[in-house]
Structure 1
Amino acid sequence: MSRARRLVLTALLTVLLAPHAPAGGLGGPAPWRALTPQGTWTPTTPAPPRACPALHLPATWDVRASVLADVTGDRTPECVLAVWRPWRNWPVARWSAHPTPITPNRDARGDSAHVAVLRPLPGGRYRELWVGSALHQPVTTLTVRPDGTLVTLETTYRAGRAAAAHALSEWRWTGFGFRLLRRVPTAARALTLDPLGRPAVR
């Protein structure tokens, strides 16, 4: 066999036997994509909102995400938190023999997911403005758009707080709680904003 043919055969074997990179690149993080007002996804870059200052929170709170933003529309920024904490029933349950709607809203560890809106004060102190009941669709992370719209990624209690989300939801403050604006199916683990103030995930 001539030297030229040996070189060609060696090159061919190298290509055939070399390990293949996974589809879509070399296995790096997925690209960021933003949700448009029309409900479609488009490539984007992240532009995270302001971070919440350090607060002296209860030791039982597992804070999965926090942002500093005016979610209530009073022109004063609040700390908005995605929190998992030990499940507690509604106080009215003590006078009823029937289970409340939030009874199944907890994971195998007995924790439930909540959205908390806190007013940060000097020295790490805070005042609770609103802490919601145990969520039916537990939140893994959240952010707040420039117009005050709360954006959450949601999973299931069975999957757990570290699981990938199956939906993105947008909410508007009503004065005491949040009203759902839209819910879009998606698979994602990270959530932030993009330079246009749109929710961005990957």
Structure 2
Amino acid sequence: MLSGPGRLWLATLLALPLVLAGGAQPTVARPTVWHTLTPQGQWVAAGRVQAPSACPALTLPPDWTVRGAAWGDVTGDGQPECVLSVWRPWRDWPIGRWAAAPTPIMGNRDARGRSAHIAVLRPLPGGRYRELWVGSALFQPVSGLTVRPDGTLATLEVTYAAPQAPAHALSEWRWTSFGFRLLRRVPVQAREVGRDARGWAAVR
């Protein structure tokens, strides 16, 4: 049974808003035209692809850099949200001030001290918004995203060392009310993400 610092770390980890686990598959797809990932994990020609639906214009903090945005109901409450992939100055967990060891997000930032996050915002009149959820600094930054009709969030993942390079993975996530749970992560090399007529994630 954990006690003291061990129990504190366990509670913190259980409260993480974003699960960053996931396995890798040996084959890496490098589509030059749109391809869709089927529910069975196979890549097939996508046909017609829809770009992520645009979010309403929002007045965001000046130190936020948006890398990807999509409009859709990821929380399952029947109302669409603006889901953003943003870069902003890195901040440690508040618990880091009292912890003896570095927090798990200590390395989740680039050489300039900026980290990537997923933000779920509810637009309000006049460019204002309400933060429904903003996750901790991501282990793998997100360069693009889309929301499938069933609320699944599909993201393209890059690295802090090469954030402008093609994404190395497509990941799909579901809302848990505390953040997102990883459904699957598939190796790929791609720069764009959308969804096809069936609502499946598509990349090129």
Tell me how far 1:47 sits from its aligned partner: 1.4
SS at match of 2:49: coil
Are 2:86 and 1:83 equivalent residues in the alignment?
A: yes
Note if contact 2:51-2:193 (Cα within 8 Å) is conserved in structure 1.
Answer: no
1:31 equivalent in structure 2: 33
1:174 equivalent in structure 2: 176
1:184 equivalent in structure 2: 186
Q: Distance in 2 between matches of 1:79 and 1:119?
A: 6
Moved more, 165-174 or 38-47: 38-47
2:23 equivalent in structure 1: none
Q: Distance in 2 between matches of 1:47 and 1:103?
A: 37
Letter in 1 for 2:165: A
Letter in 2 for 1:51: A
Tell me how far 1:68 sits from its aligned partner: 1.0
Tell me how far 1:30 sits from its aligned partner: 2.5
1:156 equivalent in structure 2: 159
Are 2:69 and 1:61 equivalent residues in the alignment?
A: no
2:15 equivalent in structure 1: none
**Structure 1: gaps spanning 5 or more residues:** 1-28
Q: Which runs of 4+ in 1 moved over 4 A?
A: none
User: How many corresponding residue pairs?
Assistant: 173
Q: Distance in 2 between matches of 1:90 and 1:43?
A: 43
Q: Distance in 2 between matches of 1:116 and 1:186?
A: 24
Q: Distance in 1 between matches of 2:54 and 2:83?
A: 10
Q: Distance in 2 between matches of 1:113 and 1:163?
A: 15
Are 2:141 and 1:138 equivalent residues in the alignment?
A: yes
Letter in 2 for 1:119: R
Q: Calculate the aligned-residue CA RMSD, in Å.
A: 1.1
- Which of 112, 122, 144 is matched with 2:115 structurally? 112
Q: Distance in 2 between matches of 1:131 and 1:66?
A: 14
In the superposition, the TM-score normalised over structure 2's length comes to: 0.82
Tell me how far 1:49 sits from its aligned partner: 3.8
Letter in 1 for 2:199: G
Q: Distance in 2 between matches of 1:89 and 1:118?
A: 22
Q: What are the Cα deviations for residues 34-84 of structure 1, in whole angstroms up to 9, with x where unaligned?
A: 111111111122112421011000111110111110000000110000111
Tell me how far 1:137 sits from its aligned partner: 1.2
SS at match of 2:97: helix
Higher relative CO (CA 8 A, sep ≥ 6), structure 1 or 2? Answer: 2
**Structure 2: gaps spanning 5 or more residues:** 1-30
SS at match of 2:40: coil
Letter in 2 for 1:30: T
Q: Distance in 1 between matches of 2:100 and 2:113?
A: 21
Tell me how far 1:156 sits from its aligned partner: 1.2
